[in-house]
Chain A
Amino acid sequence: MEQVTLFLQQLLNGLSLGSIYALIALGYTMVYGVLRFINFAHGDVYMLGAFTGFFVAPQVAKVFTNGKDDSFTMQNTFSILAGAGTVMLVSMIVCAVVGVLIERIAYRPLRERPRLNVLITAIGVSLFLQNMTQYFVGADPKAFPQLIPVQAIPGLGDLTLLTTQAAIIGSTIVLLAVLWFIVMKTKLGMAMRALSVNPTACSMMGVNNDVVISFTFALGSALAAAAAVLVSLDSPSISPMMGNMPGIKAFVAAVLGGIGNIPGAALGGLMIGVLETLVVGYLRPELRDAIAYAILIVILLFKPTGLLGKVEREKV
C-alpha cells in the first residue's frame, strides 16, 4: 500500500513539473510550426519572465496593501489569488513584448536566409539575454518573493499536494484551455494553423504573415513567462542561467510530442516531467538532467517525428 502511495505521490510531483515543461514546450512548438526553426532564446525569455515577476511583485503588493507593505502577507484567499495573478499577468505581457521584439529585430531580417543563419542568431540572442541579465542583476541566485503561502492541501489522505503545486497544475489547465480557444476558435488562430501548413498559400489568402508570426511569438513568450512565475512559486531561487536546463528539457518535450504539434507539446511536457520525477525518485538523482538527453537521442534515432507528429516529405 505504501508503495502505491509513494508512486502516486511521485506521479503528482511529476505532473506539476511536467506542467511547467508543457507551457515552455508550447512556445518552441508554435514557433517551429510557423517558422520551421528552433527558437534557442526561448529558455531565456522564460528566465526574463521570472525576473520580471521578481521586480514586479513588491510593487503589486504595495498596490494591494495600499502602500503599507511590499511583501505578500495578505490573509484572504481572494487577494492572494488576485495578487499572484496580477504578477503573472504583468510578467506575461512584458515577455510577450520581449518575444515580439526579438523576432522583429533578430529573426525577421533573416527570414529568407538559410535556416543555419537563423539558428546562429538565436544562439547569439540567447547568450546576449543571459549575459546582459547577469550584468544587471548579478550572477548569484535571487529569492523570488512568496506569492502564495506554501501549505499542504488537506483531505487527500497520505498524499501531499502543496498549494503551489495545485496552483501550477490549475493555472496550466486554464492556460491550455485559453490557448486551445485562441488556436481553434479565433481568426488569428486559424491564420496560425494555415501558416504552418503553407506560408505562401496563406499570404495569398490575404493573411498578413508577419502579424501572425509576431502573434505566435507573443503567445509562446507569454506562456513561458507564466511557467517561470509558476515555477518560482514552488522553487523560489532564480538566476540568469536558470533558463538553460528547462529550455532544453522543454525542447525535448516538444520533440517527443512531435515538433510543430500543439497537443503533442503538452503531452510531451507532462511525460518528461513525470519521467524525470520517477528517475530521480527510483533510480539516481544525478541522472535528473541526463534523462532528457537520453530521451532526445532515442526519439531522434527511432522516431524523429515524435509521438503525434506527421511525417513531412522532403521536396526537391
Chain B
Amino acid sequence: MSRPRLLLAIVLVALLLFSMFGEHAFAGTFSYYHAVLIQIGINIILGASLNLVNGYTGQFSLGHAGFMAVGAYASASWSDHVDRIFWGVLKDPALVDKLKIPAELVKALNPGGFLNPFAVNGVFLVSLLVGGLLAAFAGLIVGIPSLRLRGDYLAIMTLGFGEIIRTAILNIDFLGASRGYNGIAPYTNLFWTYGVAAVCIYVVLVLVNSTYGRGFLTVRDDEIAAEAMGINTTKYKVIAFVIGAFFAGIAGALFAHYVGFLTPEGFNFFKSVEVVVIVVLGGMGSTAGVVLTAAMLTLLSEAQRALAHTSFVPPQYRGLLENRLILYSLLLIVFMLTRPQGLFGDLSAVRKRLTPKTAKQKT
C-alpha cells in the first residue's frame, strides 16, 4: 500500500472509531466547538476542491458557491424524499409483508425501535453522492462551454452561472424557493466531514502527481505551449472543473445536513468569494497551505465575532468586526500587493531546497 493511501486509511479508521465512541459525548458537551470543527472541515473541502481548479489548473472560477448549492439542495431533497420512503417502508410491518422484504434484513436495518447506525450512515453516503454527482453534472454543463474562455472572461462567466443557479433555485417551488428549505435530517458528523475532507485532499494530491496533474500544471503555466505540445487543454480543464464541482457539491450536502436549513441567499457571490479568499491566502496550488488557511480563516472569523462583543471594542466599531467581508476584502488586496504566492505558497520550494542534492538528482 502506498504511503498516501495508507495515511488516508489510518485517518478514516481513526475518524470512524472516534465518531462511534466519542463524538456523541463530545458534540453534547462542546457543541460550539463541534460546530466550528464541522465548519472548518467543510471549508477545507471547499478550499481544496477549488484549489484544483484555481490553483493547479489556473482557471479562475467564481462560481463555487453555485455548485455547493446544487449539491446541498439535491442531497437535501434526496434525503427528504427517498429516505422517508425507505425508512417508512421498514417501519411499517404491513408494507414489509406486502413487498416481501426478508425478515432478517428488516431486523438488521431496523432492530426494534432504533435504526441501525450503519444503515443510517449508508443512506447518508448515498445522499452525499447524489449531491456530489449532480454538482459534478452541473460542473460539466457549465464547464464545457465556458472553459474555452480565459482569465477575466471565465471569471465573469462562472460568476454568471453561479448566479443563474441561485436564481433558478429561487424559482423552484419544491426546493422552497425564497422561503428556504428546512427540516433536513442532521446526519453530518465529524466522521463524514473529515472523512470527505481526507478523501478530497487525497484525490487532489494523487491527481496532481499523476499524468493528469502534469496536464493541469501545463495548462496553468502556458496554455499556448501546452496546446502546441498536443495537449487537449479543454479536456484537462473540464476534468479539473468537474472534480472540483463534485467535492463542492458534497461539501454543500454536508452543510445541508448539518445546519438543517438552506436558503438560496447562503450561496451567493460572496460565498464564492470566501472560498476564493481561502485559496488565494493559502497559496494557489498548495494543498497544505489551503487546508491550513481554511482552518485559520474559520477560526479567525469566529474570534472576530467573539471579540466584537467584548468590552475591549467600543460599540461603534463593532460593525467593522462583525462584517467579515471587510476583513476578507482587505486580506485579498494586501496579499495580492505584498505576497501573491499566499501564506504558504512557496512551501514546496522550501522543501525542495531542504532535500539533499543526491535525492534531488535521483528524481
Contact = CB atoms under 8 A, between A and B. Distances in A.
Interface of A: 37-38, 106, 109-110, 113, 115-121, 123-128, 130-132, 134-135, 244, 248, 251, 286, 289-290, 293, 296-297, 300-301, 304, 314, 316
Given A123-B332, A314-B224, A316-B224, A38 B156 contact: yes
Contacts of B155: 38, 119
A134 B145 CA distance: 36
B167 A115 contact: no
A229 B50 CA distance: 39
Interface string B43-59: 00000000000000010
A123 B54 CA distance: 15
A127 B329 contact: yes
A132 B319 CA distance: 10
Nearest to B168: A290
Nearest to A115: B151
B160 A296 contact: yes
5 contacts: A38-B156, A124-B331, A127-B325, A128-B333, A300-B149
B316 to A, nearest CB: 10
B64 to A, nearest CB: 13
A162 B62 CA distance: 40
A297 B333 contact: no
B152 A296 contact: no
B340 A117 contact: yes
B164 interface: yes
Given A38-B152, A38-B156, A314-B224, A119 B329 contact: no
Count chain B CB atoms within 10 A of each CB in A115, A244, A296, A300 and give the residue with the most.
A300
A109 B331 CA distance: 16
A124 B276 CA distance: 11
Interface residues of B, number: 41
B325 A121 contact: no
Contacts of B157: 296-297, 300
A132 B336 contact: no
B323 A134 contact: yes
A301 B160 CA distance: 14
Nearest to A118: B336
5 cross-chain pairs, A with B, having the tightest CB-CB distances, nearest first: A124-B332, A127-B329, A128-B329, A124-B333, A293-B160
Given A115-B151, A289-B167, A131 B333 contact: no
B336 A128 contact: no
B153 interface: yes
Contacts of A135: 319-320, 323, 326
Interface string B216-240: 0000000011000000000000000
A301 B145 CA distance: 7
A123 B276 contact: yes
A289 B170 CA distance: 13
Count chain A CB atoms within 10 A of each CB in B155, B326, B332 and give the residue with the most.
B332
B80 interface: no
B204 interface: no
B55 to A, nearest CB: 11
B329 A124 contact: yes
B323 A127 contact: no
Nearest to A314: B224
A101 B155 CA distance: 25
A296 B145 CA distance: 12
A127 B328 contact: yes
Contact of A120 (B146, B163, B167, B276): B276
A123 B270 CA distance: 10
B98 to A, nearest CB: 45
A125 B333 contact: yes
Nearest to A245: B163
B171 interface: yes
B156 A124 contact: no
Contacts of B326: 128, 131-132, 135
B197 interface: no
B325 A131 contact: yes
B149 A110 contact: no
Contact of B273 (A38, A127, A297): A127
A18 B113 CA distance: 65
A88 to B, nearest CB: 29
Contacts of B171: 286
A297 B265 CA distance: 23
Contacts of A38: 152, 155-156
A73 B217 CA distance: 64
Given A123-B273, A124-B329, A127-B325, A109 B160 contact: no
A297 B319 CA distance: 38
B25 interface: no
B324 to A, nearest CB: 9
B330 interface: yes
Given A134-B323, A316-B224, A296 B340 contact: no
Given A131-B329, A135-B323, A110 B151 contact: no
B273 A110 contact: no
Given A117-B336, A128-B333, A304 B325 contact: no
Count chain A CB atoms within 10 A of each CB in B160, B224, B225 and give the residue with the most.
B160
B175 to A, nearest CB: 16
Contacts of B330: 124, 128
A105 to B, nearest CB: 8
B73 interface: no
Nearest to B224: A316
Nearest to A114: B340
Interface in B136-177: 145-146, 148-149, 151-153, 155-157, 159-161, 163-164, 167, 171
Given A117-B336, A127-B325, 20 more contacts: A106-B333, A119-B151, A120-B276, A121-B332, A121-B336, A121-B337, A123-B62, A123-B276, A123-B329, A124-B328, A124-B329, A125-B333, A126-B329, A251-B156, A297-B145, A300-B157, A304-B149, A304-B153, A314-B224, A316-B225
